[in-house]
């Protein structure tokens, strides 16, 4: 799943996890991720490479879709030169008709596209309900007990989430009404109706009601809370209730395949944008938006082509779609695959792992977002994962990325980011990222979904300028050259506790392109001598 929601409470008003976005450009945050400090020092790296030539690297974006006509992505979209557009023939015999810029595994041959989808727990509940609804557990055999326990677990979780989100809908309407009353309420409390943000910051109410009112008013003044934000969040909550958590909604009916049969591969269509490409277009822009054109944010990689593979709906991605998307990307020349998605359940883990192992065997780097639940993924898996229960050791070319901020003092780890000393490899900028969205527009988004393409972009950039280095060597360079923050005290995501940043990932570091280029230059010389 690619989206998370603003969690709203009328008692404790908190802005939740991630993907809170605004239309305006904030010069303070524009391209911060390519700068110095907690940024990746990308610009300094390019200065070191100005006398070198680069080769083109293909990066697959497995996501919600990409607006391939975006003005900041022109010349950056992969083209399958062996396919003749719109002739209805599989010219290159790869099994996909008219896949000129990639493929969508979320559609059918009629050109219809899936947008809303179930959560995986909802799918599991629907399937298991056919067997276990109303059953007497005493009649079950030992081989069925594990499935029955899973049934009870997902049934409870789906019901609880439905209750929560249904109550949120009522709160959203109340908040919208309150927004109209806040200016007069604040004016009465402060004795000033034409108050500014500075006035609010100086205001120190002593009672709890006015403290909450201050929070509310400041959120409105800063633009964090607007009628548009409320409307967007209400739409997302309605999506949760009507589609994501609705067992009566069969999200696979439109596609027409069997999601449990991985040999059933003849489905989908060549519409790589789809009905909602906001997330994937933003991810693609982080990797490869045109640099230095003063439009939106700059991409990390300069000489890159984006292969759009649509497999992530507004809901949880299907294991089968992800496995086939990875294989498609590998077979069609991608050297890096970005995977900014994740979910709590995965019924076909072995098949997904087999696709990852296939990519690994072909020297293709997989870059996965750690997730946005401020949880320890060592004990709370976010699928897909770098280390399944049946794995003996990690794959060579699989990286899991946490999200860092532009603040190095105590707030380096984004409050929403997942972490894990074993299963998260490194952090990268994923906070307040301004980049491309559909219709040649730009927005600020945040999440580990934004951190993963930072690393995918760095890998592509290094491969582009150092083609003699293997992807294994480039992966090792990125991890070894990342800027270490071990020993610094940072706020643990999801808490107020200060902990050692080194405990949040295997490296305790943030990706740094300048350091990586230095190390690649040295490694290149060493290999040349040998």
Q: What is the pLDDT along the chain (530 residues), one digit of tens a residue?
A: 764 433 343 333 333 323 444 444 566 789 999 999 899 999 999 999 999 999 999 999 999 999 999 999 999 999 999 999 999 999 999 999 999 999 999 999 999 999 999 999 999 999 999 999 999 999 999 999 999 999 999 999 999 999 999 988 888 888 888 889 999 999 999 988 899 999 999 999 999 989 989 988 998 998 888 888 888 888 889 999 999 999 999 999 999 999 999 999 999 999 999 999 999 999 999 999 999 999 999 999 999 999 999 999 999 999 999 999 999 999 999 999 999 999 999 999 999 999 999 999 999 999 999 999 999 999 999 999 999 999 989 999 999 999 999 999 999 999 999 999 999 999 999 999 999 999 999 999 999 999 999 999 999 999 999 999 999 999 999 999 999 999 999 999 999 999 999 999 999 999 999 999 999 999 998 877 76
Q: Coil, strand, or helix at residue 47?
A: helix
**CB within 8 Å of 425: residues ≥ 6 apart:** 386, 399, 400, 401, 479, 505, 506, 507
Provide the CA 403 distance to its chain's centre, in angstroms.
10
Which residues of 324-477 form beta strands (DSSP E)?
Answer: 336-339, 365-369, 398-404, 426-429, 433-437, 441-445
Q: Domain check: are 229 and 267 in the same one?
A: no
Joined together, the tokens standing for residue 82 give 């062996």
Q: Domain check: are 72 and 146 in the same one?
A: no
Provide the CA 148 distance to its chain's centre, in angstroms.
32
Joined together, the tokens standing for residue 169 give 């809908």
Q: Compute CA distances 446 → 87, 98, 341, 371, whole Å.
A: 39, 34, 13, 11
Q: Domain check: are 312 and 420 in the same one?
A: yes
For CA atoms 382, 383, 384, 385, give the dihedral sign. Answer: positive
* 17 in any annotated domain: no
Q: Report pLDDT for 23.
A: 40
> Per residue in 220-244, is it b (16+ CB within 10 Å) or e — as a string?
bbeeebeeebbebbbebbebbbebb
Q: Domain check: are 112 and 127 in the same one?
A: no
- Counted domains in the chain: 2
Joined together, the tokens standing for residue 470 give 């293997």
* 11 in any annotated domain: no
Q: Domain check: are 444 and 500 in the same one?
A: yes
* 249 in any annotated domain: no
Q: Report pLDDT for 27.
A: 67
Q: Report pLDDT for 9.
A: 36
**C-alpha to C-alpha distance for 146 and 151, rounded to whole angstroms:** 9
* 107 in any annotated domain: yes
Q: Domain check: are 373 and 519 in the same one?
A: yes
Q: Domain check: are 393 and 509 in the same one?
A: yes
User: Of 183, 176, 166, nearest to 231 (Cα)?
Assistant: 176
Final residue in a domain of this structure, among 244, 273, 296: 244
Q: Domain check: are 328 and 428 in the same one?
A: yes
Final residue in a domain of this structure, among 211, 244, 277: 244
Q: Return the half-sphere exposure (C-beta side, CA atoms, 13 A cut-off) of residue 37.
A: 13
Q: Are 369 and 401 spatial neighbours (Cβ–Cβ below 8 Å)?
A: yes
* 451 in any annotated domain: yes
Which residues of 252-378 form beta strands (DSSP E)?
Answer: 304-310, 336-339, 365-369
Q: Are 354 and 134 spatial neighbours (Cβ–Cβ below 8 Å)?
A: no
Q: Report pLDDT for 229.
A: 84
* 5 in any annotated domain: no
Joined together, the tokens standing for residue 304 give 């890159």
User: Of 347, 388, 311, nearest to 124 (Cα)?
Assistant: 347
Q: Report pLDDT for 374.
A: 96
Q: Domain check: are 409 and 500 in the same one?
A: yes
* 9 in any annotated domain: no
Q: Report pLDDT for 25.
A: 52
For 147-195, the pLDDT digits (tens) are 999 999 999 999 999 999 998 888 888 888 888 999 999 999 998 889 9
Final residue in a domain of this structure, among 192, 209, 244: 244
Q: Domain check: are 370 and 506 in the same one?
A: yes
Domain carrying residue 452: 32-116+255-529
- What is the CATH number for 432? 3.40.50.200
Q: Report pLDDT for 322.
A: 98
Q: Report pLDDT for 527.
A: 79
Neighbours of 129 (CB within 10 A): 14
Q: Domain check: are 165 and 265 in the same one?
A: no
User: Of 529, 75, 133, nearest to 302 (Cα)?
Assistant: 75
pTM of the model: 0.92
* 109 in any annotated domain: yes
User: Of 457, 138, 104, nearest to 304 (Cα)?
Assistant: 457
Q: Are 462 and 424 spatial neighbours (Cβ–Cβ below 8 Å)?
A: no
Q: Domain check: are 189 and 281 in the same one?
A: no
């Amino acid at each position: 799943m690619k989206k998370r929601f603003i969690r709203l409470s009328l008692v404790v008003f908190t802005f939740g996890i991630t993907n809170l976005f605004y239309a305006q450009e904030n010069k303070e945050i524009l391209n911060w991720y390519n700068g110095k400090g907690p940024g990746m020092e990308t610009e300094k790296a390019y200065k070191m490479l100005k006398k070198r030539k680069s080769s083109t690297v293909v990066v697959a974006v497995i996501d919600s879709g990409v607006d391939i006509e975006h003005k900041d992505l022109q010349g950056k979209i992969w083209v399958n030169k062996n396919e003749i557009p719109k002739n209805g023939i599989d010219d290159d015999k790869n099994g996909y008709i008219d896949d000129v810029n990639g493929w969508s595994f979320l559609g059918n041959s009629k050109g219809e596209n899936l947008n809303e989808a179930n959560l995986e727990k909802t799918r599991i509940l629907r399937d298991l309900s056919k067997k276990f609804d109303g059953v007497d557990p005493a009649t079950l055999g030992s081989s069925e007990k594990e499935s029955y326990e899973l049934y009870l677990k997902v049934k409870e979780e789906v019901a609880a989430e439905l209750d929560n989100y249904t109550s949120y809908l009522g709160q959203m309407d109340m908040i919208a009404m309150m927004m109209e009353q806040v200016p007069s309420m604040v004016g009465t409390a402060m004795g000033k109706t034409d108050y500014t943000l500075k006035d609010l910051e100086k205001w120190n109410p002593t009672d709890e009601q006015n403290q909450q009112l201050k929070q509310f008013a400041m959120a409105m003044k800063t633009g964090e809370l607007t009628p548009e934000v409320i409307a967007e969040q209400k739409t997302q909550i309605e999506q949760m209730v009507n589609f994501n958590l609705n067992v009566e909604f069969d999200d696979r009916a439109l596609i027409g395949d069997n999601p449990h049969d991985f040999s059933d591969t003849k489905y989908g269509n060549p519409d790589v944008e789809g009905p909602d490409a906001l997330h994937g277009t933003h991810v693609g822009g982080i990797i490869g938006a045109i640099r230095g054109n003063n439009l939106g944010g700059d991409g990390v990689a300069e000489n890159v082509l984006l292969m759009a593979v649509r497999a992530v709906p507004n809901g949880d991605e299907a294991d089968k779609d992800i496995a086939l998307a990875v294989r498609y990307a590998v077979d069609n020349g991608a050297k890096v695959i970005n995977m900014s998605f994740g979910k709590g359940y995965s019924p076909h883990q072995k098949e997904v792992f087999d696709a990852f192992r296939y990519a690994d065997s072909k020297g293709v780097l997989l870059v996965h977002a750690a997730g946005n639940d401020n949880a320890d993924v060592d004990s709370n898996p976010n699928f897909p994962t770098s280390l399944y229960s049946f794995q003996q050791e990690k794959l060579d070319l699989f990286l899991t990325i946490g999200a860092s901020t532009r603040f190095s003092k105590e707030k380096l780890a984004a409050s929403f980011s997942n972490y894990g000393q074993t299963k998260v490899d490194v952090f990268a900028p994923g906070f307040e990222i301004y980049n491309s969205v559909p219709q040649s527009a730009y927005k600020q988004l945040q999440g580990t979904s934004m951190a993963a393409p930072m690393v995918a972009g760095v890998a592509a950039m290094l491969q582009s300028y150092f083609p003699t280095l293997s992807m294994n060597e480039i992966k090792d360079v990125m991890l070894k050259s990342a800027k270490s923050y071990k020993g610094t005290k940072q706020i643990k995501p999801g808490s107020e506790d200060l902990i050692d940043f080194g405990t949040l990932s295997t490296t305790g570091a943030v990706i740094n392109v300048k350091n990586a280029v230095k190390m690649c230059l040295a490694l290149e010389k060493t290999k040349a001598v040998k």
